[in-house]
Structure 1
């Protein structure tokens, strides 16, 4: 049964839910969120589970596997369960796959796949993987590991697994979701440009926001995309999907958001040229492509996607420092370039902090101050980062700036008076009139 048919029969499935549920053990009742299902072969691993209300073990089911960057399976499960209910998917979301070294992630994936495969009548194909941030990278890895069983990936806030391109003609359809101020949006834009050339089908959907899970409503549209992808070329589902997206593009045009409309029209024309909306979208995209707004926006996107690629490929401290200086200049320039530069700086802030601390310990104080000050400017609530920036600036002879960042550190929650009292990095500040007041504000010494 196709995904499209499952959507069409969703109401009928709901009507059968009462009798079908009786065939499932009460401990795993359909239509209920189960936050922690222990893996039978490895109880050290668990997952959150949702069975559609129409679930019964007498037929195979597609599964939507979810991977979170924090190991909290219930978070993505609750976001996607209503869409999965309508689409007829089981949802299984790991409680153990989280950002960090790859080996524990792979072990969590293996335990999840093995238990769901053994416990439920999984379909031979048509499964989906979904994740956010580092979980999106893990989801892509899971789908590629079992490529013949998966229909596609819903990738939120990140894309590439282990920074590698997908195989050519992978057979996976890719639905990318990113906030318009997500610091990872540049790699999503790169995927939209490069993966279709490699024979992979990609849709990029942008929502308002930064680096976060999309709202639940976004996942209904995502699963509708996979229904359209699985449908035959003449199926009305494809025409409907393309027409709905074309309607969104027209709304954006009416609001004066020509570049966003252009990107939607371009995607519709590329993926569905055989339907009426696809043919019309090609003409709309071609006309918009010649406008000054779109030409300028495309150039800006290419520039920042190139900067993203260069940052990912740095092989030396000097290369990184050069790129960060370039971004600092763009940030200072103001306008849209400033926003994009700030987001790329935020993406690299933790790497900058680590490099800054290394340079500080190596006695390269000016460079350390540059790195740590930059990182602290884009992560202002990070107390230790602000403290380290103060140390580097003090060593570099910039006392006033050092005091400002030390004050920011205290405002952000830094309370270690013993460290600040003895830290030789701050010796040049000890006679500063504000320094002792800051120490007193930290409370009793130790």
Structure 2
């Protein structure tokens, strides 16, 4: 490792940490229309940081109806490859703010971890890339295109149109996606499998209007009960997904310690893990279904009536090797077939599908990454899967089939991405910056 590069990385980390906190303070929840202006403000802040890092040009782009994304170019020496560094500046909704230990948009450090929505997913990824570019004084050893998306947490619905319209701005030889997780804070991971994602909305109707539950209950059912019965058929008694026609696979990764896994997740005492097989198999290689929301009266506002209609949103993760269009249709057909009592059912296929993806972890780019990450972390790289979905990966692979794809980590099992008290291990953030800086150096040599 170059002592000069290590010193340069160390020198930029305090400023990168401060700018990460600045980004976390912007509630860029593109999924919430009320936060659209905040998401634009977040893009402008990223663009400003890219200019300050020495970008030759910076552009904010968006597809029709889509969120703002930032593209910045840092030319490299002649003959070197072009590396696209990807992250996203939008974040998930906070959930119940009252359950956060500290306010979600006020970054707070506790015990070496920085807490806040987006502190890990994925504003840490944004600042990892920018810190590396700062360490090189804006003149990296390879050509760099910085691409910071603004709607990843909404499923990237306009990404295909965005890539098609701006393909010339994004052409590259290697793609580095800082939007995954490491097995541990001192163990680097390269993600080689991703699950896909599809959503549907199911609506059940049984009555024209609400009616008295005492007068008519018994011979007449209600839509919410019918909906709940249909949703209950999505899993078998062991918690395996029961939707026919889906791909189920296995993972060869070593099993995780169940006690540690339960602690990281925050499972309550006595709550069982669903399904069968190792934890990596269940989390990375099999489908998963969750009821994301139900439209129904709140308990405090309920009354003794039979509900005429009820609606739910169901999300499904697809195993690597499956197809998002077929999987979404299979989910819809299962729900349509399992609504009881002759109730009317309408299933809407939601946009924003994400294809599952398997990455070929061989070649010069992967060799460079393994060397760099092993040196920076002091431990060998572990190939992992990820249960989440990154729509960008499959879409970019379609648009640029010759580019090598590397999915790297800025989180760890305790980061609680999408959950309450999301956090980033501060020491690991420094390792991630150093690893990426070394990787660019390795890619220049190769």
Give the shorter-chain TM-score range. under 0.3
Instruction: Please state which structure has a larger fraction of its residues in helix.
Output: 1
Pick 1 or 2: higher relative contact order, CA cutoff 8 A, min separation 6: 2
- Say which one has the larger Rg: 1
Output the TM-score relative to the length of structure 1.
0.20
Instruction: Please state which structure has a larger fraction of its residues in strand.
Output: 2
